[in-house]
Structure 1
Amino acid sequence: MEEIIQRANQRQKIALGILNKLDLIKKWGEVGEVHLVGATAYNLMVSHDIDIETFCDIPSPENVFKVLGDLATHRGVVEIKFHNYLNSPFRGLYSKLTYLDADHDEGTQWNLDMWLFPSNHNGPLSRDLVGFMDKALSDRSRKSILGIKEHLVKLELNYPSVFIYRAVLVDGIEGIHHFLEWMNNQDVNEPFKLEKLGKVER
């Protein structure tokens, strides 16, 4: 099982290297307050996905394209998408960057999901999970989560990661079979409640 931690460590190292190559944290930092979130922040990476949330007083498309314009000329960037969700319940601006990593694994494709939110955003945010995850994770629970994630990839099944975290950290689920049984009783459309992880102690 130590190999599963090593694989996650290696993915995180590559992810942080990509962020450094693109100078992404600095670029978003010129727009607002930047937070690296999701599996990269928790060191629970299995998929090649990196998530960033940025907060500023008044988000605008101009803010986003100031960043995207610089990124478009980078040799590793092969696709950029943008969607304005300010007038939806998401209340944010979403952009997605596809990066082809020529330095590892014969050009692995990485997806970078980036949100720009207003500073007073009051909906569910990945930013608010980082502190709880840091407190809740142990070596055992980290291995359990990574094991479930890797098995789901092999089975070509996709569930929101927050359900995996809740299953392991709150309900003590271990192993892919127990997780799939547990998921049969979950509503994947139910909003994730932060306090369910906030009660967990390391």
Structure 2
Amino acid sequence: MSDILKKQAELQAQADTIVSALGLEDALRLAGNPVWVGSSALGLMARRDIDITVVCERLDPAARRTVAEIAGELMLDSRVGAVRYRNDSGLWNVEPQNYPDGLYLGLTYRTDTGEDWNLDIWFIDEPDRQPDLKHLKTLLPRLTDEVRKTILAIKADLAATAPKGGRPAPSALVYEAVLDDGVDKLAGFVDWLSRRP
């Protein structure tokens, strides 16, 4: 196994340990059906980042209360340094043409070895409109080890060249460039990105 795939596997194992340590699966089931999405579900982890989308029956006041209760329980864990809530539904959804209404929890988790992890948890009630759930169906079947190595190398290069405190380009764009347009290096990705409308 290549070094970049080994690093991905190590991050994946750490992510699984964190999810288990927080009891996240059981906690999130109080609101709906949790689905692991993003790089941790696709085997494309290059950063300490876990993405979960929870499919709820509806986003109503009862769902909001449940999300608040989940957030409250997570705040009690000494390894959680921050919990952020965002209402991205109704008039607060600034991109309703692109995303369903949702409620968001963002967590910062610190491991015993002092590494900080970000967890992004979305609660939605229109799963057919959620891009990260679509990626599980459209991207996962197309990922070979070679494609994974290419994507991980570009993501690592982007992270290494990002300005301090800045965030690299969204991973979904890297996936699109590699899988749909055959990009295989950082320079090609930068060029591909500059030509996007």
- TM interval, short-chain normalised: 0.7 to 0.9
1:99 to 97, 105, 109: 109
Write out the 4+ residue segments of structure 1 that deviate beyond 6 Å after TM superposition.
Answer: none
2:66 aligned residue:
63
- The answer on whether the counterparts of 2:4 and 2:153 sit within 8 Å (CA) in structure 1 is yes
Q: Give 1:83's aligned amino acid.
A: R
Are 1:146 and 2:152 an aligned pair? yes
CA-CA distance at 1:56 after TM superposition: 1.3
Of 65-74 and 109-118, the range deviating more from structure 2: 65-74
CA-CA distance at 1:97 after TM superposition: 0.8
Q: Using the alignment, how far apart are the partners of 2:193 and 2:13 within structure 1?
A: 31
Cα shift readout 1:120-176 (whole Å, capped 9, x = no counterpart)? 355343012112222100111100000000000110161111110011111111011
1:73 aligned residue:
76
For these two proteins, the number of residue pairs brought into alignment is 183
2:179 aligned residue:
169
TM score, norm. by length of structure 1: 0.86
1:17 aligned residue:
17
Q: Using the alignment, how far apart are the partners of 2:144 and 2:45 within structure 1?
A: 15
User: 1:170 aligns to what SS in structure 2?
Assistant: helix
Structure 1 unpaired stretches of 5+: 188-202
Structure 2 unpaired stretches of 5+: none
User: 1:110 aligns to what SS in structure 2?
Assistant: strand
Q: Give 1:131's aligned amino acid.
A: K
Cα shift readout 1:77-103 (whole Å, capped 9, x = no counterpart)? 11111011111224111111110111x
1:131 aligned residue:
137
1:195 aligned residue:
none
CA root-mean-square deviation: 1.5
Q: Compare the two structures and name the one with the higher helix fraction.
A: 2
Q: In 2 relative to 1, CA 13–160 (structure 1 residues): closer, same or farther, beyond 3 Å? A: same
| Map 1:108-123 → 2, pairs under 5 A | 108-118=115-125, 120-123=126-129
TM score, norm. by length of structure 2: 0.88
- Counting aligned pairs with the same residue, the percent is 30
Cα shift readout 1:37-75 (whole Å, capped 9, x = no counterpart)? 000001101111111101112223202012112211112
- The answer on whether the counterparts of 1:28 and 1:54 sit within 8 Å (CA) in structure 2 is yes
- The answer on whether the counterparts of 1:91 and 1:121 sit within 8 Å (CA) in structure 2 is no
Q: Give 2:189's aligned amino acid.
A: F
CA-CA distance at 1:28 after TM superposition: 0.7
